């Protein structure tokens, strides 16, 4: 083999190399593939460097923001961040049973809310939960105003009575330094973390939280943590941390803590509403599906996922309407654009160039101007109605309503998107040789038969390309439906825009956008399966 390769290359040698089963080698014995890849690497690298600026731009300005927005549709760290203790305590609450969470949960809520109102975050949390549980935001606002006045000293007094060391910061330092502190007293540990941040916010960074005795909420949680320990663990504590807990086994049953639940109930009845607690528990995880459920008019209840009550369903209808109107627009564009494209492709170059300019003219006019022009034309006191009345087709009372409804959206958007149908159709028709039709006729086909059997099938690629363009553009259209759509002609994108800029429910906006995106991709996939995307020609 190698002898052949070392020999001067002749036709015979090449033939020999080609006929062997082994991978072909270059003259210096390296595999041909490797050498080729090496030779091409430079070109590839240069090509990559050329597109690098665009790639960077797209990643920074397009992929990353969109990825971020899409992530917002499931992201839900806010509950865990603002109510860390409550989320942990609530995890063990069985929401299907018909009873409120335990006093312990209320204690953690009080502790968390104390910090939240200090950091002014409880209203944000209220707003977030309000998306899923309307009305709860006022409960949070009210409670935030009152939390500082909650009674919380009962546990502190009881512990201090047992051992006066609990009146000093030193008790808390030695408690922290217990070997199993975080696992034995989880709620207390969380409360101490809250306390540190509370002090930092209240007093500034120069005050060390460990030099102070924590507030009563922390004592309450320590009481609850102790109550959860069994007698064996308590006895171990008594011996291992005698300076803090001497006599705890005996004292604990006589101790009391504040009744936080009653205090919460006094502030607002919402706190004894089971549904509110179920929602808070459902929203505890950092990733939730509530936005997606909302975007398809569903919600998660104690019984599982259910459709919302009929009068609260809007998005599915809106999605269906968006698809239906987009389909109508696409079909209108095909019906109107096909003859125009045919004219463009068959007329003489001079005339067709002239026509092409007329087709492209709308592209050079502002979208707003075009849409506004339709308002002028279509409104009830507008040009078209005036002419119809003048001709006598309708009377004054019967002026047609063609704007601020679905008709307006369909008319204006068909006009705006028509070039996107005509241009691909035109470029495809341009490539269809007129001899096809002649051949068909010479074989005996009538004009219509030749058209449907020969011409039309060859334009399907153009119809496909135009339809994809028009449909995908229209399904996400915003400005025209906003201006001429009224209430019956608005699209899902208008609703998304509303949530982005007015209701500020970005999570729901993202979920709606993600659903829209998935829908478009699914339709694209279906199109690829049915028609074949390789058949699409744009020119």
Tokens found for residue 171: 């008790």
* 3-class state of residue 394 by DSSP: coil
Of 305, 438, 504, 539, the one binding another protein by CB under 8 A = 438
Find the shortest distance in angstroms from Cβ 437 to another protein.
9
Alpha carbon 221 to chain centroid distance? 38
Cα dist from 316 to 163, 190, 312, 486, 516, whole Å: 63, 42, 11, 19, 11
Q: Is residue 435 near another protein by the rule CB under 8 A?
A: yes
Find the shortest distance in angstroms from Cβ 535 to another protein.
10
- Residue 350 has a CB neighbour count (10 Å cut-off) of 8
Q: Is residue 145 near another protein by the rule CB under 8 A?
A: no
Secondary structure (DSSP) of 155-218: HHHHHHHH-GGGGSHHHHHHHHTSTTHHHHSHHHHHHHHHHHHHHHHHH-TTS-GGGSPPPHHH
| Binding range to another protein, per CB under 8 A, among 2-10, 19-27, 395-403, 431-439 | 431-439
| Binding range to another protein, per CB under 8 A, among 92-100, 133-141, 382-390, 447-455 | 447-455
How far is it, in rounded angstroms, from Cα 254 to Cα 222?
15
Of 441, 479, 482, 528, the one binding another protein by CB under 8 A = 441
End-to-end CA distance of the chain: 50
Q: Is residue 349 near another protein by the rule CB under 8 A?
A: no
Find the shortest distance in angstroms from Cβ 531 to another protein.
13
Of 230, 443, 502, 534, the one binding another protein by CB under 8 A = 443
Find the shortest distance in angstroms from Cβ 406 to another protein.
37
User: What is the number of alpha carbons within 13 Å of residue 456 lying toward its C-beta?
Assistant: 9
Size of the site for another protein (CB under 8 A): 17
Nearer to another protein, 188 or 427 (CB): 427
Q: Is residue 429 near another protein by the rule CB under 8 A?
A: no
Q: Which position has the token pair 């509403």?
A: 273
Q: Is residue 369 near another protein by the rule CB under 8 A?
A: no
| Binding range to another protein, per CB under 8 A, among 3-11, 371-379, 408-416, 430-438 | 430-438
Of 26, 34, 446, 503, the one binding another protein by CB under 8 A = 446
Site string for another protein, 449-488 (x = CB under 8 A): x---xx--xx------------------------------
Taking a C-beta distance cutoff of 8 angstroms, is the pair 482, 497 a contact?
A: yes
3-state secondary structure 268-336: CHHHHCHHHHHHHHHCCCCECCHHHHHHCCEEEECCEEEECCHHHCCHHHHHHHHHHHHHHHHHHHHHH
Find the shortest distance in angstroms from Cβ 353 to another protein.
21
Find the shortest distance in angstroms from Cβ 433 to another protein.
6
Q: Is residue 444 near another protein by the rule CB under 8 A?
A: yes
Q: Is residue 428 near another protein by the rule CB under 8 A?
A: no
Report the site for another protein in 1-20 (rule: CB under 8 A). none
Q: Which position has the token pair 């808390």?
A: 172
Q: Is residue 442 near another protein by the rule CB under 8 A?
A: yes
Helix locations, 476-505, DSSP H: 479-484, 492-501
Q: At what angle do helices 169-176 and 186-203 cross, to 10 degrees?
A: 130
Find the shortest distance in angstroms from Cβ 440 to another protein.
7
The contact set with another protein (CB under 8 A) reads 433, 435-436, 438-446, 449, 453-454, 457-458
């Amino acid at each position: 083999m190698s002898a052949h390769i070392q020999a001067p290359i002749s036709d015979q040698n090449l033939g020999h190399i080609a006929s062997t089963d082994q991978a072909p080698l270059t003259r210096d014995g390296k595999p041909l593939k490797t050498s080729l890849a090496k030779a091409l690497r430079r070109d590839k690298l240069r090509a990559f460097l050329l597109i690098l600026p665009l790639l960077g731009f797209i990643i920074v300005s397009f992929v990353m923001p969109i990825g971020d927005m899409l992530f917002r549709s499931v992201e839900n760290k806010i509950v865990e961040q603002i109510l860390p203790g409550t989320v942990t305590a609530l995890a063990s609450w069985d929401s299907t049973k018909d009873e409120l969470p335990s006093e312990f949960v209320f204690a953690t809520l009080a502790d968390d809310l104390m910090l939240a109102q200090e950091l002014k975050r409880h209203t944000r949390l209220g707003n977030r939960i309000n998306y899923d549980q309307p009305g709860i935001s006022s409960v949070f606002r009210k409670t935030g105003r009152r939390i500082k006045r909650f009674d919380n000293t009962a546990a502190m007094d009881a512990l201090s009575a047992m051992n006066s060391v609990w009146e000093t910061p030193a008790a808390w330092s030695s408690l922290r330094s217990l070997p199993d502190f975080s696992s034995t007293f989880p709620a207390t540990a969380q409360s101490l973390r809250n306390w540190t941040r509370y002090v930092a916010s209240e007093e500034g960074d120069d005050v060390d939280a460990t030099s102070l005795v924590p507030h009563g909420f922390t004592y309450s949680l320590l009481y609850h943590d102790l109550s959860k320990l069994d007698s064996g663990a308590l006895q171990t504590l008594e011996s291992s941390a005698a300076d803090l807990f001497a006599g705890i086994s005996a004292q604990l049953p006589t101790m009391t803590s504040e009744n936080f639940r009653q205090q919460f109930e006094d502030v607002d009845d919402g706190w004894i509403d089971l549904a509110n607690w179920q929602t808070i528990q459902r929203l505890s995880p950092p990733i939730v599906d509530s936005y997606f459920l909302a975007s398809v008019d569903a919600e998660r209840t104690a019984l599982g996922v259910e459709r919302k009550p009929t009068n609260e369903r809007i998005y599915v209808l809106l999605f269906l309407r968006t698809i239906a109107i987009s389909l109508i627009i696409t079909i209108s564009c095909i019906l109107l654009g096909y003859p125009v494209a045919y004219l463009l492709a068959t007329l003489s170059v001079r005339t067709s160039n002239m026509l092409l300019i007329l087709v492209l003219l709308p592209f050079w006019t502002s979208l707003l101007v075009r849409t506004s022009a339709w308002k002028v034309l279509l409104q009830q006191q507008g040009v078209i109605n005036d002419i119809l009345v003048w001709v006598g087709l309708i009377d004054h009372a019967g002026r047609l309503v063609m704007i601020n409804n679905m008709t307006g959206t369909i008319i204006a958007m068909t006009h705006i998107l028509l070039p996107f149908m005509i241009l691909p159709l035109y470029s495809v028709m341009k490539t269809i040789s007129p001899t096809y039709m002649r051949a068909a006729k010479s074989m005996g086909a009538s004009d219509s038969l030749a058209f449907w059997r020969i011409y039309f099938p060859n334009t399907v690629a153009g119809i496909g390309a135009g339809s994809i363009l028009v449909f995908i553009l229209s399904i996400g259209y915003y400005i025209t439906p906003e201006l001429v759509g009224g209430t019956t002609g608005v699209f899902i994108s208008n609703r998304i825009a509303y949530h982005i800029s007015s209701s500020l429910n970005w999570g729901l906006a993202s979920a709606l956008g993600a659903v829209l995106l998935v829908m478009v991709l699914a339709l694209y996939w279906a199109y690829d399966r049915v028609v074949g995307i390789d058949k699409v020609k744009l020119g």
